[in-house]
C-alpha cells in the first residue's frame, strides 16, 4: 500500500503499510480505521499513527473455516468490511479474534440478511444482488 505525498513519481511515494498476499479479498474504512482481508480470510485492522503517515496493525481477525467458501468476492463486488463483521452478497459474516478460539459450531458464523418490507421498494440492482 502506498501513500502518495502529492508527487507523480513512484520513486517518491511512501510505503505506509505492506502485506504479502496473492490477492486482497476486500478493503474497508470506518471511523479512522482501515480493514484489509487477504486470501487466507485474515482481516487486519489498521490505524494511522498520529505523528506520521504510517499505518500500524491493531488487530487480526478470521472467518470461521466453514464460512470461507461462501465468502469469495469478485472484482468490484460490493463488500462492507468492519471490525467484527463483513457483509457480502445477502449474508453477514462474523469474525473472531485470531489469538482466541472461535465460538462453538453454529454460533456467530454467518446469517442471511432479509430486507425489511419498506426497503423492498427501494432495492437497486447493481452488479451484486442488492445494494445497501
* Cut 0.75: pTM above it: no
Give pLDDT tens digits for 32-81.
888 998 888 899 999 987 777 788 889 899 888 888 888 887 776 788 88
Give pLDDT tens digits for 75-116.
767 888 888 888 888 888 888 887 777 777 767 788 888 776
Burial class (CB in 10 A: 0-12, 13-18, 19+), 76: exposed
- Residue 57 has phi, psi (to 5 degrees) of -75, 125
With vertex at residue 35, the alpha carbon angle to CA 29 and CA 39, rounded to the nearest 5 degrees, is 135
Amino acid at each position: 500500500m502506498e501513500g502518495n505525498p502529492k508527487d507523480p513519481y513512484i520513486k517518491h511515494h511512501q510505503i505506509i503499510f505492506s502485506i504479502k498476499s496473492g490477492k486482497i479479498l476486500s478493503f474497508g474504512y470506518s471511523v479512522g480505521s482501515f480493514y484489509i482481508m487477504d486470501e487466507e480470510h485474515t482481516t487486519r485492522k489498521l490505524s494511522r499513527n498520529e505523528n506520521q503517515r504510517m499505518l500500524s496493525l491493531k488487530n487480526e481477525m478470521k472467518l470461521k473455516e466453514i464460512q470461507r467458501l461462501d465468502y469469495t468476492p469478485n472484482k468490484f463486488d460490493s463488500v462492507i468490511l468492519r471490525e467484527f463483521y463483513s457483509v457480502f452478497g445477502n449474508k453477514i459474516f462474523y469474525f473472531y479474534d485470531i489469538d482466541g478460539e472461535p465460538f462453538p459450531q453454529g454460533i456467530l458464523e454467518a446469517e442471511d440478511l432479509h430486507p425489511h418490507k419498506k426497503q423492498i421498494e427501494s432495492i437497486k440492482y447493481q452488479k451484486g444482488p442488492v445494494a445497501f
